[in-house]
Amino acid sequence: MSKRNYIKLIFGLKLKQLRQNKKLSLSDLASKSNLSVSYINEIESGKKYPKIDKIDLLAKSLDVTYDELVSLKLMRNLAPIEELLDSNLLEQLPLDHYGLDMNKMISAISSSSLQLSVLISTFIETAKSSEISQNNFSKTALRTFKEFNENYFEDLEDAVNDFKDENDLLNKPTLNYNQLKPILEKNYNYKVDASSLNKYPEFNDIRALVINKTQNKLMLNSNLETHRKAFVLAKELAYNFLNIEERSYLYSSVRLKTYDHLVNYFYTSYFATALIINKSFLIPDLKKIFGSRKWSKDKFLSLLDKYNATPEMFFQRIANLLAKEFGLNKFFFLRFNHELGSKYYNLSKEVRLNTRRNPGGYKSSEHYCRRWVSVSTLNTLEKKLMLDKNSNGKSCGILHSTFHHSKDEYLCISVAQRGSLSNKNIYSVTLGFQIDEKMKQTIKFWNDPVIPKQIVNDTCETCTIAGCKERVAPPTTADRIEKSNRLEEVMRKLQEIN
C-alpha cells in the first residue's frame, strides 16, 4: 500500500470513529461542517483526503484539535487495524490479486466486534514472531494459487507456443544458451555479459543481475553451468514477451520483497521451463517411461540430458503436465536444500495436489522424517562428494512410501544434485505420486519388485514408530498429544462413574 493511500485510510477511519463517538450521523456532521454527505462518506471510506480548510471545519465540528484529527494514531479499539496497515503483511499478500477491496475490508473490520479486533491483533503478533514476516506468507499464498490451478497454466502454455511460433522454434525438443542469447540481444536490445558479475564478491550467490538502462544489460554469474544460464535467459525473455514490469532485477528468489515480484518470478520461471522443455516431445517420452513395467533409473536420468534441464526444471515441468496430460492430480512436489556436513534439511519448495498434509508441512521447525527418499538421495550424493569433491554427478532414488498415521501410499522419485553457485550446497527434488487406481493404470512400474518399500512419517516429533533407527529427535509432539488424549479419556470415565 502506498503511503498516500495509507494516510487517506487512517484519516477516514479516525473521522468515522470520532463522529460515531459524538453520536453524529453523516447528515449531522455534514450540517455542522457545511460539507456534503457524499463528500464526508468518501473521506471516511479512504477515497479522498480533504484540504486544510476542510480538515479545520471537520475538527471544529467534532470539537477536536486540527493536530488530533490529522494524527496517524488510532484509538485503542482500532489499533489492530493500524498495526495491520503498518506491517508488511498486506505487501506480501496484496488483496487486489484476490478480488478484494482494501478500503471495504478495513471499513468492515472497523465496524466489527471487539472479538474480531482481538483476533486480528493476535494474527499480527503471531506473524511478527514467526517466519511469516519473512515472505513465507506470500510463498504459501502462491503455493495455494498453483494448487488451485492444478499446477497448470494454459495462458502461459499458449504464450510459450506464440513465442516459439514467432521465432521458428516449435519443432525443437529443447533450447540451449546459444539459441536463446541472440533472440534476447536482437529482439529486446540486450547485452549479455557472462564474466563481469564475478568481479563483485557481493554477488557471488546471485545467479544474474539486470542493469535496466537505455540498453538492458544481463550480467550472468560465470560459475553457472550452461543449462542454468539458458534458464536465466529464458526467464528474461519471458519478462519481456509477457510485458511484465513489476519485478526484481536480482535473480534470487530469497530476495523477492513483494507478492507481485514473487508471482511474476513464478510466471517467468514457468514460461522459461516450458520454453526450454517442449511438452510435445516430453509427453511421449514420459508415456514411454511410465508405460514400462520395469523401473529404469538410467532411462529416467537420460531425459535430463536430452532436455538440457536441471533436476528441478525437469521435475517442475513434469509436475505442470501431470494433471492436464496424464490425469494424475494427486501428487506432491518437494525441494530440499542441504549443506554438506550439516544435520539439517530445509524444505524450500512444496506443491501438494489433492493430497493430505503429508509430508511434513512447509517450513516446519520440527525434524523431517529421515526415511524419505528426498533425504536419502541427498545423503547418497553427499557420500559421493566426500570421495570426489569435484564430482558433478547426481543421485537418483525411488521409494514406495506408506505414511505411518494416515496409511497413504506414494511412489516417490527423487534426484539430488549439487547447487548452482556453492560447492557446499546440494539439493533434491521429489515427485510423490499417490498410489490409487488411476496411478496404477498410468505408471506401470509402480509395483516393480526392485522398488524398496518403507514406512515413513511426517516429522520425528510427531512419530510413534517404535525402534526407528533413523530418528534424530524424540517424539515430543506425539507424547504431548497422547498425554492429552489420556486425560480426556480419564475425564470421560470419571463423568460416567459419577
Portion of the chain with pLDDT greater than 90, in percent: 50
| Whether the predicted pLDDT of 131 surpasses 50 | no
- Answer yes or no: are the C-beta atoms of 198 and 144 closer than 8 Å: no
Residue 31 domain boundaries: 3-134
CA distance 184 to 272: 13
Residues 151 and 266 in one domain: yes
- Answer yes or no: are the C-beta atoms of 452 and 459 closer than 8 Å: no
Residues 388 and 436 in one domain: yes
| Whether the predicted pLDDT of 151 surpasses 90 | yes
Q: What pLDDT, in 10s, does the model give residues 342-388?
A: 988 988 888 888 887 666 554 467 888 999 999 999 999 999 998 87
Residue 444 within a domain: yes
23-32: b (≥16 Cβ within 10 Å) or e:
ebebeebbeb
Residues 333 and 451 in one domain: yes
| Mean predicted lDDT score pLDDT of the chain | 85
Q: What pLDDT, in 10s, does the model give residues 59-90?
A: 999 998 988 888 766 655 555 566 666 655 55
The pLDDT assigned to 80 comes to 59
CA distance 9 to 13: 6
The pLDDT assigned to 78 comes to 59
More confident residue, 77 or 416: 416
- Answer yes or no: are the C-beta atoms of 272 and 316 closer than 8 Å: no
pLDDT band at 133 (very low <50, low <70, confident <90, very high): very low
The pLDDT assigned to 417 comes to 93
CATH of the domain at 70: 1.10.260.40
Phi/psi of residue 426, nearest 5 degrees? -130, 160
Q: How many domains, in total, are found in the chain?
A: 3
**254: closest CA among 349, 342, 334?**
349
CA distance 298 to 399: 16
The pLDDT assigned to 213 comes to 73
**182: closest CA among 200, 169, 195, 197?**
169
Q: Which residue has the cell 489492530?
A: 80
Q: Which residues, 6 or more positions from 269, have their beta carbon under 8 angstroms from its beta carbon?
A: 235, 316
Highest mean pLDDT, choosing among 196-205, 396-405, 416-425: 396-405
Q: Which residue has the cell 479516525?
A: 14
Residues 128 and 157 in one domain: no
The pLDDT assigned to 221 comes to 93
Q: What pLDDT, in 10s, does the model give residues 183-209?
A: 999 999 999 999 889 898 888 888 999
Residues 371 and 260 in one domain: no
**Side-chain-side CA neighbours of residue 111 (13 Å):** 11
End residue of a domain, out of 233, 248, 276: 276
| Cis amide prior to 359 (ω within 30 degrees) | yes
Residue 183 within a domain: yes
pLDDT band at 134 (very low <50, low <70, confident <90, very high): very low
CA distance 437 to 432: 15
144-160: b (≥16 Cβ within 10 Å) or e:
eebeeebbbbeebbebb
pTM of the full predicted structure? 0.78
Portion of the chain with pLDDT greater than 70, in percent: 82
pLDDT band at 160 (very low <50, low <70, confident <90, very high): very high
What is the mean pLDDT of the segment spanning 415-420? Answer: 90
Residue 303 within a domain: no
The pLDDT assigned to 426 comes to 94
